[in-house]
Structure formats: C-alpha cells, structure tokens
Amino acid sequence: MSDSRPDTPSSGPDDAAEAPTPSAVSTPTVFVLFGATGDLAARMVIPAFGALAKQGLLPDNWRLIGNGRGHQTDDEFREHVKGVLDKAKTGLSGRQWRTFSASLRFAGGGFTEADPGDLADVVAEAKDDLGSDDVQLVHYIALPPSTFESYTKALAAHGLADRARVVYEKPFGTDSESFERLDKLVLSIFPEERVFRIDHFLGKEATQQLHVLRFNNRMMEQVWNRYHVAAVQIDIPETLGVSNRAGFYDETGATLDMLVTHQLQVMAEVALEPPVDSSPEALLEAREAVLKDFRPMSPDEAVLGQVEGYRDIDGVADDSQTDTFVAAKVWIDNDRWEGVPFLLRTGKQLKESHQHVTLVLRRPQTRGFGERPPRPETIAFSLAGNGTVAATVTAQRPGAPGDLVPGSLLLDLEDLPRAEPLPAYASLLRDVLAGDRALFTTATGLREAWRVAAPLLANRPPVQPYAPGSWGPEAAKEIAAPHGWLAQHSLES
C-alpha cells in the first residue's frame, strides 16, 4: 500500500467552491466495498458516495476500503475512483475531491474464509486512523449473487461481522431454495436489523411519489381500485446491453435481475392498502402485506426472450438459455384489485429506455359525445429522474363538434421548487448510515416475491429471439392485450 495521503488532482473545478455542510452523522464509519473495481461499483455505488460527499451527507469521519482480487496501491485506487466520478459528472470541487480522496484505501488479495487477503489488516488500520473504539463497520457486497454465501462466511471467519451492517446487491438468491439457504446463513451471522437487501427502485424518490400522490390527491385516491382501473403496467425497457457485465448477467437474466427483484416490489408499492400511519415502518408493513395477496405467476402468461447476438458476447455460453427479456401478467387476489391484470415488462437492447407505471382506466359509463379515441385514458408515472406524472384525457377538438381527440395533463416534478433529489443509490446509502431499512426488502417480502415467481422459474417458457432495437418478441404483445403497451406512446417516448 502507498502512503495514505492522496496526491492533489492535476485539474478540477474551482477550489474556492464552498465546502459541503457538516454531516449529521457523527459515528465514525468504515465502508468496505467488495467488487470495488467492477462494473456495478463504477456505475452505481461509487457515484453514490460522490453524491453524498457533494451534499455533505457522509459521516464526519469515515474511510472507504475497496476490495478486490488484484493488488493496487491506495493512490491507484484513488485514480480509479476519480475516473469513475469524472465520468459520472458528480461535480466535486477540487477541495471536495481532496477531502474525499483522503479517506480512500484499497485492500487486495481477495477475501475468502481461508485467506482474508489484505482486508483485515486494512480495516484495523482504518479504525486506528479514526481514533475511536465506536466505529460503525458497513460491508457492501457489489458482486454476483453466487458469491454472497462465501463472502458472508468469510466475514464471520475473520471477525468482521461483529456489530457490522451488510448490504447485499440483488438478486438475494436465485430461486426460493437458494433464497432460504442464503437467508438462513445470513441471519445466523447478522441480526435482521443489520441486513440491507438493496432494491434501488424503492430508493428512487419518483417511486416514493407513488404513495405520496395517491394518498394526497383525492382524484387519484378515488380511482385506485378495480372499479376504475382496467390494468396496471409496470414497464422498464432498456436500450442498454450487457457486454460490460455478461458474467454477472448470465447468472441472473431479466427475470431475476429485474422482475423478481424490482418490478414485484414496485407492484406492491402501487397495490398496497393505506398504511396505518405515515411512518416508514407502516409503509413497509403495507407493502409486505399486499405481497401475500399476489397470485403465483403462470408460465402460460409470460414470455421470455433473448436478444440476437447475446450468445456471441465473451463470457456467455454458446447454448445459453438466459432471458434478456421478460413480459408477464400477475394477479392480486384481494377486493381492491380482483380481476385487474398487472403487466410487467423489461428487457435489454430494446427500442427505448423508460421506467413507467401506468394505470389504464376503464371507459366512462356515461354515453360519449362523439367517437372516442382508440386508446384508453391513463395515469402514467415516470420513475426516471425526478419523476413525471402524465394523465391522458379525451377532449373535443375546438371548432369541430363531435371530433374527440386525446390530450395530456403533465406535471414534471423537476419543476417543483427546490427539487434536488439524491440518486437512488445515494439515498439508500444514506439510509444504511442511519440504520433505516424502510426502503429495503426484508426477508418476509423477498420470500413472498420468490413464492410468486416460483412457477415461472420452475417451468420456464423457451426463450424467443428478438432483434436489437425492437420491442422484444412478438408474442409479448399478447400479454398486454387488448390495450397494448401504452408507456411507449407517452410524452417521454
């Protein structure tokens, strides 16, 4: 390892920029980031640390230790982190970067039950640097799910689990059986209140707007049921491919990477009954309660796809059956949602990227004044960025009696005063610091999600090929019949 003091960056924003406000977190904290030089850490986790640093939300005294199989000096790791933050356009000033980078360390040599590599020694040094016996240790396992058991055992074997918090990336398990085995192991080492199973979609402020807008606006509250809603679509197509993380992705696929981990949780956020109060704990309880009403998925109501060329990617088997696309229909057996299909779609290398929850409204019962447009009225919520709410309406074209045309009412939440949300990963890291698990999935909630997905995972339909840049397999259109996938017709598309 090199000297712990970083070099001054050769260039950067104005050093005179105002330093961030002091952190509200006073407990000295040591973060350990497993997979620190990997794709997930570069895309999500390290930029989240940068965002917290920019807003002064990191602890007053902290260290971030990157861990990996290879060996790097502290300064080499700092250069890596600086490159990641520059690419993410985090916007740290020169002064902020020097303060931030002084807390970065690297521990190479891997980490196993038999051999901790450099990590145990570097953690001990970091605690000594912080000069306190009361140090909060936080482990972030940003690695494929196949590693979770071995790394958890290694944390216990080397005395790094005591009083520590641990963050697991998704998916937490790969089926019901592996989930139960992993959960049993984790809870034999960490108490539940110190386990953070991440779902960054729940950390999105735009996702949290779903219950805020629903329960604070009468016009939405009144239609939020089967009497007014014909279908609900949770649509998360991506133009992004998987070439940079093919090894991870081929272990999971779209169903595990997105549907089980994210979309069922967002579905619960949409479908939950009114919480007993406005506390985060009550919201979590309501979300988990409605998951128990989800009917197990039928393979006959699901379509799996694989984008053409996927098997040519390095790290993917020539005969891989991994799904890069899934569309499925899910039902909820309770009074509010009986008979309303929830339609979930996600996939890689599709025509567009967006993240929408769309309530498809039933036709009005009263007789119309003209021929209505073919598409139904909707209330659509974008989960990207600050979020957007768009309600389609039917109106008469001025000067043309009886000529009905669709219109839209749009609220861009970025237009609200002082709208400065944290990125989802930064928001969730802040909650880890505070010990707030309201936006994380509990063992109970995940157990229900695996129960719902179990029939599909046990009897997977064959993957159907689709062209890059398309909307996926043609058969997926039938999942959303008779309305079709409506988010692709929204104002953002």
> Which residue ranges are tagged as binding site for NADP(+)?
69, 170
> What is the Cα Rg of the chain in Å?
24
What span, in angstroms and rounded, lies between the C-alpha atoms of 130 and 132? 6
Q: Within 10 Å of residue 4's Cβ, how many Cβ atoms?
A: 15
The length of the chain in residues reads: 493
Asked whether the beta carbons of 390 and 408 are under 8 A apart, the reply is yes
Distance of CA 395 to the CA centre of its chain: 37
Q: By CB neighbour count within 10 A (0-12 exposed, 13-18 middle, 19+ buried), where does 469 fall?
A: exposed
What span, in angstroms and rounded, lies between the C-alpha atoms of 330 and 181? 26
Task: Determine the residue type at 267.
Answer: M
Residues with catalytic function: 262
Q: Within 10 Å of residue 451's Cβ, how many Cβ atoms?
A: 16
Pinpoint the alpha helices (H) of 272-404.
280-291
Q: By CB neighbour count within 10 A (0-12 exposed, 13-18 middle, 19+ buried), where does 399 fall?
A: exposed
What span, in angstroms and rounded, lies between the C-alpha atoms of 70 and 48? 23
**Token digits of residue 62:** 């902290």
Report helix, strand or coil for 210.
helix
Residue carrying the six token digits 């861990």: 67
**Cis, peptide link before residue 482, omega less than 30° from 0:** yes
What span, in angstroms and rounded, lies between the C-alpha atoms of 289 and 143? 30
Q: By CB neighbour count within 10 A (0-12 exposed, 13-18 middle, 19+ buried), where does 131 fall?
A: exposed
Helix (H) or strand (E) holding 445: helix 443-458
Pinpoint the alpha helices (H) of 217-356.
218-221, 246-254, 264-271, 280-291
Backbone CA torsion sign across 39, 23, 64, 156 = negative
Binding-site residues sit at 69, 170, 200, 204, 238, 257, 348
Helix (H) or strand (E) holding 434: helix 424-434
Binding-site residues for substrate sit at 200, 204, 238, 257, 348
Query: Would you state the torsion angle of the CA atoms of residues 272, 276, 282, 285, taken in this order, to the nearest 10 degrees?
Result: -50
